[in-house]
Amino acid sequence: MKILVVEDEHKTGDYLKQGLVEAGFVVDLMRDGRDGLHCALTDSHDVIVLDVMLPGMDGWEVLRAIRAAGREVPVLFLTARDEVDDRVRGLELGADDYLVKPFAFSELLARVRTLLRRGGKAKEAECLRAADLELDLLRRRVNRAGKRIDLTAKEFALLELLLRRQGEVLPRSLIASQVWDMNFDSDTNVIEVAIKRLRVKIDDGFDLKLIRTVRGMGYVLEAAD
């Protein structure tokens, strides 16, 4: 899960980034409205945390431009002013939620998770993609470069998890609990075996290897080198 934070106050920005990274998210931090907008339009995020008062371009303008570009990404506004007008304006422009400063980090994290759940449901009928790999959730089909790949149910669930959280290193314990619904037991090699089989099906014969082992940490699916 990837989050874009646009916040010009250095301390707040650093604090948000650190907290979100510790909570397991991948975080892009931008300190200026224009940079934030550029990042929002050139990269893909699951949630955007957007400060209202920003140099370059304020949060309103950034949000308007994001929506004008057809981006449906959930946006959580940070406002320093507890003004009804600001909230109404933000919600009218297409913000999904707002938080008044100062706020507790736990509150922000709870709001972000709620937005992620909502966004996840809205996307349920779609496909998950990485480079030329496509996983069709409705038809339960996978193909790479247009070629159909047959997967077992477990391999499908494993690939779905890796794709949903692409770019994130997933520890074996997390994979075990999410795909096998079991506690991770270091004696078992069920995950290694499944990853190996999945790799053969997904990556063999392709120059761009999508699934990577991060030694001592887990596995990551990434389309970039």
Residues in contact with Ca ion by the rule CB under 5 A: 8, 51, 53
Nearest approach in angstroms of CB 58 to Ca ion is 9
- Closest to Ca ion by CB, 38 vs 197, is 38
Nearest approach in angstroms of CB 87 to Ca ion is 17
- Closest to Ca ion by CB, 7 vs 96, is 7
Residue ranges with strand state E in 80-192: 97-100, 127-130, 133-136, 141-144, 147-149
Q: What share of the chain is helix, strand, coil (3-state, %, to 5)?
A: 40, 20, 35
Q: Which residue is nearest to Ca ion (CB)?
A: 53
Q: Whole-angstrom Cα distance, residue 29 to residue 14?
A: 8
Nearest approach in angstroms of CB 151 to Ca ion is 47
Q: List residues bridging with 51 in a β-sheet.
A: 78
Strand order through the sheet with 2-6: 26-30, 2-6, 47-51, 75-79, 97-100
Q: Whole-angstrom Cα distance, residue 208 to residue 109?
A: 35
Nearest approach in angstroms of CB 201 to Ca ion is 48
- Closest to Ca ion by CB, 51 vs 96, is 51
- Closest to Ca ion by CB, 101 vs 123, is 101
- Closest to Ca ion by CB, 55 vs 120, is 55
Nearest approach in angstroms of CB 80 to Ca ion is 7
Residue ranges with strand state E in 116-201: 127-130, 133-136, 141-144, 147-149
